[in-house]
């Protein structure tokens, strides 16, 4: 009886062993194919205060990673070497709440770079980059509080429009300083202080209007100069012709004078 039981149990045991081996193989394959394996070196996923966080701080990145988990709530890409943000760079992250891009080399942001983040994103850090000028369209429909401090800004109408289109992060406005400006006295000043005293867009409009007036005056002066030259040239030609006629014999002179007078009339 015991021998019979052993014979019956043997196939079951072998089956369990095979099943265990199969599960182990599947687990190993799953680990190899899991998205985490595709993360750039220095990047890792974690959970902080109940929020799914993806960190790539100081990972020597030169572009925004493409394999970020799409359920990420907080994304840290700070202290890297990312030079620009392309269109739809974060379109697969609909649940993103915080985005840290500080201390990079970002010099340009394409329109639509933050498309898809308008509904949930509430914090965007672009401080300590290389932004000189940026269109307000880059933040179209974005409701996040934005940190734009410590960038080499060109203080002009474009920056004024940008600042008025976004909500600045608390205590970050003082860090938006004019690195360059059409007006030398603005360099080194906090931008909000500058636009409190001067409407740069009105200054730009006045400068444009003056330039148009100068251009129009230049064309008008050229036309007048040409007309004066034309009249004087014709007068000189007529005078020379009359002097020539005076030097002719009287009959021929009268005939030529009549012809000249009729032509002039």
pLDDT of residue 118: 84
Flag whether 12 is in a domain: no
Mean pLDDT of the chain: 79
Domain boundary among 198, 225, 252: 198
Domain with 219, as residue range(s), is 199-234
Flag whether 105 is in a domain: yes
Flag whether 255 is in a domain: no
In the chain, pLDDT over 70 holds for what percent of residues? 63
Flag whether 260 is in a domain: no
- Whether 214 and 125 share a structural domain: no
Domain boundary among 198, 226, 256: 198
The pLDDT of 193-203, averaged and rounded, is 89
Choice among 162-166, 189-193, 216-220 with the minimum mean pLDDT: 216-220
Number of domains in the chain: 2
- Whether 165 and 207 share a structural domain: no
pLDDT of residue 185: 93
pLDDT of residue 12: 45
- CATH code at position 130: 3.80.10.10
Higher pLDDT, 66 or 74: 74
- Whether 82 and 108 share a structural domain: yes
Flag whether 32 is in a domain: no
- Whether 155 and 225 share a structural domain: no
HEC profile of the chain: CHHHHHHHHHHHHHHHHHHHHHHHHHHHHHHHHCHHHHCCCCCEEEEECCEEEEECCCCCCCCCCCCCCCCCCEEECCCCCCCEECCCCCCCCCCCCEEECCCCCCCEECCCCCCCCCCCCCEEECCCCCCCCCCHHHHCCCCCEEECCCCCEEECHHHHHHHHHCEECCCCHHHCEEEEECCHHHCCCEHHHHHHHCCHHHHHHHHHHHHHHHHHHHHHHHHHHHHHHHHHHHHHHHHHHHHHHHCCCHHHHHHHHHHHHHHHC
Q: What is the pTM of this model?
A: 0.65
Flag whether 57 is in a domain: yes
How does residue 162 score in pLDDT terms, banded at 50, 70 and 90? very high
How does residue 157 score in pLDDT terms, banded at 50, 70 and 90? very high
The pLDDT of 113-140, averaged and rounded, is 94
Q: Which of 4-8, 95-99, 202-206, 229-233 has the highest mean pLDDT?
A: 95-99
pLDDT of residue 199: 93
How does residue 137 score in pLDDT terms, banded at 50, 70 and 90? very high
- Whether 128 and 87 share a structural domain: yes
pLDDT of residue 209: 41
- Whether 139 and 218 share a structural domain: no
pLDDT of residue 182: 87
How does residue 37 score in pLDDT terms, banded at 50, 70 and 90? very low
In the chain, pLDDT over 90 holds for what percent of residues? 56
pLDDT of residue 259: 56
- Whether 203 and 136 share a structural domain: no
């Amino acid at each position: 009886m015991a021998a019979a039981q052993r014979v019956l149990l043997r196939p079951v045991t072998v089956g369990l062993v095979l099943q265990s081996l199969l599960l182990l193989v599947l687990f190993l394959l799953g680990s190899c194919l899991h998205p985490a394996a595709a993360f750039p070196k220095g990047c890792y996923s974690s959970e902080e205060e109940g929020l799914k966080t993806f960190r790539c701080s100081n990972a020597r990145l030169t572009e925004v990673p493409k394999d970020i988990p799409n359920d990420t709530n907080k994304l840290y890409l700070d202290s890297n070497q990312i030079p620009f943000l392309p269109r739809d760079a974060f379109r697969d992250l609909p649940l993103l709440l915080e985005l840290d891009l500080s201390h990079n080399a970002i010099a340009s942001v394409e329109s639509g770079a933050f498309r898809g983040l308008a509904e949930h994103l509430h914090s965007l850090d672009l401080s300590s980059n290389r932004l000189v000028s940026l269109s307000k369209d880059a933040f179209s429909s974005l409701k996040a509080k934005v940190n734009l401090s410590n960038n080499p800004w060109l203080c002009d109408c474009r920056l004024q429009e940008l600042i008025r289109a976004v909500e600045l992060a608390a205590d970050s406005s003082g860090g938006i300083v004019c690195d360059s400006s059409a007006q030398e006295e603005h360099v080194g000043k906090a931008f909000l202080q500058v636009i409190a005293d001067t409407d740069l867009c009105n200054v730009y409009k006045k400068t444009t209007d003056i330039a148009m007036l100068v251009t129009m005056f230049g064309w008008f002066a050229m036309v007048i100069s040409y007309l004066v030259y034309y009249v004087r040239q014709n007068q000189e030609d007529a005078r020379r012709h009359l002097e020539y006629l005076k030097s002719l014999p009287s009959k021929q002179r009268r005939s030529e004078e009549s012809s000249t007078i009729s032509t002039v009339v």
